[in-house]
Amino acid sequence: MSHARLSLTRTAVLGAVIALGMTSGCSSPKPPVNTPTASAAAKKLTSVEKQQVEVVSLALGDPDPDAVFPHAKRLGTMVNAKRSGPLHAAYDSKLKPGQAVKVDVACTGGGAVTVTVFSGKRAKTAKTDCPDDSSFPESLFFEAGGSRVNVTVIGHGKGAMGTVVHGLDMDTGMARDLILANRAHSALTNEGPGLGTSSGSLRDGINGSSVDVKIGQRVRVQAACVGTGSVTVSAVSGTARVSKRYPCGNDGSVGAPSFQLTAVDPVLKVRLTPDKGASGGAAYTVRDDRS
């Protein structure tokens, strides 16, 4: 089954990270804790709607939404046909104010969905279009304003919709950076035996690592950066040193150029240094270059 992304681009989604952390004067609704409201199951689904629900369910579970955040706490999942009415749930998450909440949204059947997240005095609404016959999850980040998180999903048109909600053990900025670092890592190639790889947030500096090599061995260092600004990648082996500056691209325009170095010491050190003001995530890999 082919997957088509929601029309809300990843760049737009990531741009919503800051917006989703804004404070609003709206008060939170009080649906049942951890349970979708009865309206979600009030109508019998057609065979087409059942298939659409399955497509959305698969989209929210594949790829694994916890892959970038192995310690994420799953708060709950809601999936149903749009015709069945809005989905509502309140998750007693025991999150601390300022902690990140990740909401994965998926839908199919055309039309659109509107997702509203409340926590304490913080609230935000985002609307996105749905592909006709496939689905791909998009991630929204929200800054918790209290221990309870309320999520409402309203469907427009036919088809199915759903969300899966996770609490993260970090703030929204770090969560965003790790998503970008994962995309930077995905831009790297797998040509040649791998000697070492690393990825992370630019705010951490990504100090790099040391790789064991043989004197005279030729290696290829490849890196990618997603976000804003640029990062300088340096590889050092004894007196041999090569540095390359990488501009941070956005999703869809991420390049992963590489450079070569011949080791004159049994240790190769790689370091990534972000420019002042750079933000996002980066990744690099070191491989034996036998070409």
- Examine the domain organization and report whether 67 and 150 are in the same domain: yes
What are 46-93's pLDDT values in tens digits? 999 999 999 999 988 854 545 677 778 888 899 999 999 999 999 887
Residue 186 lies in a domain: yes
- Examine the domain organization and report whether 139 and 277 are in the same domain: no
What is the number of other CB atoms lying within 10 angstroms of the CB of residue 193?
9
pTM of the model: 0.60
Helices 172-186 + 10-20 axis angle, to 10: 170
What pLDDT is attached to residue 256?
Answer: 80
What CATH number corresponds to the domain at position 259? 2.60.120.260
> Quick check: 10 pLDDT over 50?
no
The larger pLDDT score, comparing residue 77 to residue 30, is at: 77
- Examine the domain organization and report whether 274 and 130 are in the same domain: no
Domain of residue 253: give its range: 181-288
Average the pLDDT over 83-108 and give the result: 88
> Quick check: 253 pLDDT over 70?
no
- Determine the distance from the C-alpha atom of residue 153 to the mean position of all C-alpha atoms in its chain, rounded to a whole number: 20
Q: Tokens for 157?
A: 């048109």
What is the number of other CB atoms lying within 10 angstroms of the CB of residue 230?
18
Residue 281 lies in a domain: yes
In a 10 Å sphere around its CB, with 0-12 CB exposed, 13-18 middle and 19+ buried, how is residue 2 labelled?
exposed
Q: In what order do the strands lie in the sheet with 112-119?
A: 87-92, 148-156, 112-119, 122-129
- Examine the domain organization and report whether 191 and 151 are in the same domain: no
What are 206-229's pLDDT values in tens digits? 666 788 899 999 999 999 999 999
| Boundary of a domain, candidates 140, 170, 200 | 170
What CATH number corresponds to the domain at position 54? 2.60.120.1300
What pLDDT is attached to residue 67?
Answer: 64
Helix (H, G, I), strand (E, B) or coil at 202: helix
For 203: left if phi > 0, alpha if psi spans -120 to 50, otherwise beta; the answer is alpha
**What percentage of the chain has pLDDT greater than the value 70?**
78
- Examine the domain organization and report whether 278 and 241 are in the same domain: yes
